[in-house]
Structure 1
Amino acid sequence: MHDIVDVLWGQDPPASASNVVQRHVGNLRRLLEPGLPARAASRRLVLQAGAYRLKVNAENFDLLRFRELCREADRMSRRGDAVQATELLLQALALWRGPTASGIAPASRAHPVFTAVDNEHLTAVKEAARLSLEAGPDLVARVLVVLQHTAAQYPLDETLQAGLVLCLAAVGRQAQALQIYRSVRNRLAEELGVDPGAELQAAQQCVLEQTIAWGRRGPRRATRAAEATVDVEGTEDAEPRGSAADGAGGQSVPDTLVHPAQLPADLPVFTGRQAELEQLSALWAPSGERVTVVVIGGMAGVGKTTLAVHWAHRIAQHFTDGQLYVNLRGFHPSGSRMSTAEAIRSFLDALGVPAHRVPAGLEAQAALYRSLLAGRRVLIFLDNAHDTEHVLPLLPAAAGCLVIVTSRNRLYGLVVGEGAHAVTVDVMKEAEAQAFLRHRLGADRVAREPAAVAEIISACGHLPLALAVVSARAAMNPAFTLASVAAELREGRGSLDAFTVEVPVADARSAFSWSYQLLSAEAARLFRLLGLHPGPDCALKAVASLAGQQPGRVRPVLTELVRAHLLFESAPGRYGCHELLRAYAAELLRGCDATDDTGSAGRRLLDHYLHSAYAAEVLLAPSLDRLAPPPHRAGVTVSCFADHAEAESWLDANRSALLATIEYSARHGHSDHTWRLAATVERYLDRSGRWQEQAVAQTTALAAAQLLGDVNGQAHAHRALGFAHGRLGHWDEAEKHLSHALKLFSETGDPAGQARVHRYFAFLANLRQWYEEALDRYRQAVDLYAIAGCPAGAASVANEVGWTYILKGEHRRAVEECGRALAAHRAVGDRNGEAAAWDSLGYAHHHMGAHYEALICYGQALDLYRALHDRYLEADTLVHIGDTHKATGREAQAASAWRQGLGILDEIGHPDAESVRKKLRQLHDPGTSSSHDTAPHA
């Protein structure tokens, strides 16, 4: 009882301490033995001589099972069976769940009972390391997983650290082993003022001399092979075998060097990345006359090191003098970046240079390093470099050497100054990701659930690190369906929780944090704000609006983020961010930035898209009646456009962002922005054939306007939604929404709005061949435009009336109406309308058999559409030209015009492309009908 009270309250327990303990003991008894009557004696938790005893066995208490396994391992070790002993210790260590009593106050955790259990674990780890070195490299690799984690918790335990050094070297990771030794040596000196003891020094010497041999008593020094390594028996007064003529401080350069083989182990099965491997192989030739430097870059978790290691192993046989490897820790979370001096010293150690021959000073050491490599073929792998300065002194001068550098940063200095070749690693392609999962989960399991596999890959953003985390979880739970794994990811979309594991190096959030922590304050703020952006990528002016700064000030900050691979430049001036990085940025934003600042940034972004889209639409269709947005906030940068081409390109480039912004604004309560932005991009979405996207956007807009009680917004959303449903053939839905729109525009006294609804009704009537109803709707539209004082609208109706007469077969009447429309559009200066009228006239002449006149009219329309950069209607007119050529038997000209039109339609992703393909196929099948398209114009 005394111990329990002491642990819970220390030196100042309350008077009721014993009663509190007894009450909780009673609760524990009932938990362990449900149904135990009050005050009845417990069989599991009993009081003996003033102390509590918990009666358990190894089947239901992991500590007892741990001790049993350790005792059995000791018996196996005494019998000389190191393999079985190591296996038993690994089973015991697998039961460990972390430091004892980690959930209580730090002061209480120091109780001797708890520290004794921790010491049992520590002893087992040390013994596992010792025995694994007797057992063989396969078991060493398994022990290393536990050993590295434990060594990080006990950085000054020399026996533990010596075991780690030897185990790392035993699996070929000599550079890391020496790095661990130096780190421990420095820490011992800084914190305790002592040098490493004999055990740790002996471990280092084994690594330096590469004298680890497997046997009954673990690694031992092999016979000193002076003739095969550096002559370490010589004295400083001995005649040197060579001189460092390039300035190595007069130190001798050995004639015969150790041939290091330091590459980390390759994956047992490497999947995908064939394009990158071919690109890498093309950059290096075995007979190269100069040193080749390859920089492999990419975002965290994309698999840079994995790819580099695999390629290095593929070509290692060409480097007959060895392979050097060092992890420069350029983005280590602790900030303990390896210095260039440490890296060079590790290479000198690996090359077998004894300590007494290493000169003082970085420059002299670098010179010696270059001299050692002169005339030799060595592969140098510099992993995880921070910047150009980090690696420059590590570049050899010797022809025939290859340097592989990996980094999250874009090392422009190496490319520009040293002629390095840059290879950027992107996320996996779909087929590569599927192959990855087949390898991790088995081909049968993946084949059984193809839809779930596709969803998992999408949720992981094709990122190898995320796929590895998710596949590991699925592999450890074979009873789980992949659909259930996919559902878990779906529920956590926008969060990194599904990609979190216990080991930081394999944790997506931790991996991203290492890059983030190295950013400047301004870049870190901008990265967090980008977590607000809803689309896959954005332009400079959108980012400037988000930050509330001028584009010129934001550009260098974006460059810093691109250099850190936290963003990528998808096109000049456009910046993208991986979905999981965007989720990480959003997490940071919620934790770091004040709500007011975040809200202001979000509203500036909405203003940018609304006003920029409005500017593009006004330029592209100036005669169309539309609502001007309210003034934008301070700090917003609006995109401006010099001509139609710029405006159309901006809309195309930002389509996904605009649609995502509509959803984002609705989700965050900015309902006015929601319906206004949807109304602004209505024409663009319709003209580009994005009718399903239009329906989704306008449904969102309608809900937002209804939430506001904004009748005008509801009218615009109903009108656009009705027309989208009509385009999709949903006639009942179309009529319902258009009728609502007409009623609401009438209530608000908007005759131009009513007129446009009648035009939409007429268009849909033409689709259903209800021509008289269409003409009646057009007459009502003309009257309403007259009331509104909108001559451009009336001119557009005249052209649409002419088109209706074409559909009716009254071609001469159509020519009259379209001629009137042409004159009206010219009178108001509407070049878009003029082009449409020319196209309609050509269409009418075509159906009258006046093909020459038709081509003249089409030519006028084509010239105008090209001048206006209206890509869709340019394609539409080219298709009509092809139809006319086909009607006159000029099939080659018809095919040429159709192919030009098809190229544009494919480029903009318009659904009309399939009908043009059908026309081209029909040229080779004379028995197939090839009638002229008679779809109504809008």
Structure 2
Amino acid sequence: MRIQVLGPVRAWLGDDPVALTSAGRRAVLGLLAVAGGQPLSQAELVDALWGDRPPPSAANIIQTHVKHLRRLLEPGRAFRSHSTLLPRVGDGYALRVPENSVDLLRFRRLLAEATTARQNGDQRTAADLSAEALAQWQGTPLMDVPMLAGHPKVLALIEERRAALGRYGELMIMLGAVSEALPALEEAAAAQPLDEAGQARLIRAYTAAGRRAKAFATFHDTRRLLADELGVDPGPELSAAHASLLRDPGEAVAVPAPQINTTDHLPVRPKPAQLPADVPGFTGRADELAALDRLVTSGEQTVVTVSGMAGVGKTALAVRWAHRARSRFPDGQLHVNLRGYDSEQPMTPEDTLAGFLRALGMAGNDIPAGRDERAAAYRSLLDGRRVLVVLDNAVSVDQVWPLLPGTSSCTVVVTSRDMLPGLVARHGAGRLVVPLLPAGEALVLITRLIGDRVRDDPAAAADLIGRCAQLPLALRVAAELAIGRPEAPLRMLVAELADESRRLELLNAGGDPQTGVRAVFSWSYRQLAPAAARAFRLLGLVPGPDVAGYAVAALLGTGVVEAGEVLEVLARAHLVQHVTADRYSQHDLLRAYAIGLGLEGGEGDRALERLADATLFTATAAMDTLYPAERHRRVRAVRPRSPIPPVGDGAGAQAWLDRERDNLVALVAHAAVHDRPAHAVGLTLTLLRYLESGGHYPEAVVMHEHAVRAARLTGDAAAEAQLLTNLAVMDVQQGHYERADTVLRRAVVLARACGDHAVQARALGNLGHVDQWQGRYDEAADSLRKALELCRLTGDRAAEARALGNLGQVLRRQGLDEQAAAYLNESVRICRDIGDPVGEGYALVSLGDIAARQRDSRRAVRSHREALDIFRRTNERAGTALALDGLGAVTHDVVFLREALEIFQQLGERAGEARVTNSLGEALTTTGRPADGRERHLAALTLATGTGDRYESARAHAGLARAAEMLGDPDTAGKHRNQAWTGYTEIGAPEAEDIRRLIDR
């Protein structure tokens, strides 16, 4: 008996193949074979086959599969006798066959023998054994069982092969026989384009083979990809391979190696400089600053916690030290206020990581969705860099640990009221506890602030320091009050503070320092004029990290000038702090105190309503300025009585949105929680295009999730459906197709229930797009037909034309050319009627593709040229690239194809780039350059794998098979042909039948 799992699942009894006609049967046999004789429980098999949605009869189905496998694999077993091949073990099963019967087990045994030979110094034998091991592979493991494509054991096997390829390549380089290993190394590098070790091996192999030009090209392609995808420079291994290439003159080659200046075109990695301004008038703390120096420069601590009670000056200390030490961190400084003690909106690790990734150069649409994935990308971007990370105002270890870099070259300083013992226990953090400001340093501080009255009455000064609990924040507030009353002796002011303490009845016998702080705040607050006191109370309610003058005017219901005057009064009293000239923030202690003062008669609700109204109107004005053509789609906001900041031209509107983005997210979250659903929904829908086009996906997702909850609580099904559709669109753009599919189906149900045909049509159209992208053409066509009916029902002809065009594309992918052409021609007709040249152009491209498949090259060229004229006239660059691709694919003209490829690369559209790269590979192979064609198809495979485009991935394998056959490598051709057939079959593409005929040939 022989069993194959390294490729399609196959079995033979002698020379006779076993008919494994059921995908479920192949899945069970494959999983048991991969287990290597170890039993798999029934639960493990059910989970592998159905995930979290098993049918009620799952156990019976598995029993049936095992029964059939026993009958097929043990044809001579007596009736009702126990199976020795597939025995039941516990509630599961095991496959008990000799090791040599399973290709995976042979692969592992041969690799183990190769490792032994290498350790014994026999490199030749090690290489031969490795080659024999790799020859066991006939494709992706279990490749004809689509349900197991993402199973952890399958992915682990792929990694095993990749590691084996790397070791084999190293051996062949050492033996001087690298040309034999190049195809395998190239395949491994194409599958993992961001694996620097694999790319370095390939560069060394090219160098050893004398192909220096190709080695240089590989290095620079990888360097660009690392910069574009991760925003990083090449690491040590890749840089070493490049340096070796520069030193090694290599052998003479037909194409001379380019003269490359390694300093040219290197990606410039952003150096964040996020530290807030240094604290003016910072006093004392010499011992603590020295302690931080010792902890960080000792080389033993990469994480330091700075803890102490609220108001003791932790942030000021950390910021002062960070400014002094910034020269030690040449790659930048990251800073965030985690707002850990904000009862409503502390920063989540996910949001913090999104901000850090953006600061480190990652585009918003590349930021992963999950916390763990963001943390991994963050660690990757910081790897080997010397960056200071200041995490201010943390509340717990859980808020901090995802933000820790994975490299000792970075230093993290965390401030918190808590001592965060978990960071010390789990991460070996150094610890600095900030004590109360020593009396001597406190005296220096208030002397600097108040002046002669401190020197004239040292006893009163000492009493003031004691009543302020030796806390810098309280001392500054009290000192400002003294400065504002220069005629009053210090003794009298201290007596007033004592009276205030008694008035508040703060009778804590233990002398809690916070008692003194509240007394100081109360004392200062009672000196404010009514307008300033009201503003202080209302500012405590504002969501978000800071607030601008216009927003405060809306909050107060006053003019901008009056709001500015009140803010300056509060700033002079140290009850708010300047962030920039017109932006203010509030210490969390003062914010808590302000909230505790309370408001009467719904004043707070009315103030927040004014703020939300003004923000929504301004956001709408900014969006109308940036995207005037979409004005009719936005909910019209009523102009409030509050003054509105002028957004000006496009640059001004963009700048306002960028400045306010964090506050906009906070306002939506606050409105959703505090029963203002109209603002949460309206603001989110208004800002969609800004968030989407700017790549602010993390913020967009947060806003939409809050808005969805708000719409759901109020029973606004139409708004919920619209918001869910938006969420799904963002999921699609980030490659999260399964989640998008689930969300869109919910949106369709909601829109249908509330009778909103327009929203239902949009949701169905996007659902069709998701299905098409994943190769589910029947489902895609069904969704698009339903969307088309609804578009016709609503009379939206532009939407009808889009639905017709999309449906035509799906039918074309299914090989239903005549039906597809009918829908596409109808789309062209409507687009011409309503004056939509871009829609017409896209439909013409699809018509050209149909003509090309029907081998009507004249009609194909005509359609693509018409589309090209339209796209160039309307400056639609993506459409121009598609039309050029169509022309190049028909005529095998690489000039067209290279122009199309360049456009897609400039646009950053990797899906289009994969399509054109495959077309270029086909053209090169067809015109007698199969080696060049193979390189293009490998690049297309990398792109298609990254974007999840299963059609272009199968197309790349088909092209690789054809190129390999022309290059005289039938084994490699067969492997790629198998993978192409599997890929096309899984998505129902008509090309599968063509590949099947070639396989059977």
Mark yes or no: TM-score above 0.5: no
TM-score normalised by length of structure 1: 0.39
TM-score normalised by length of structure 2: 0.37
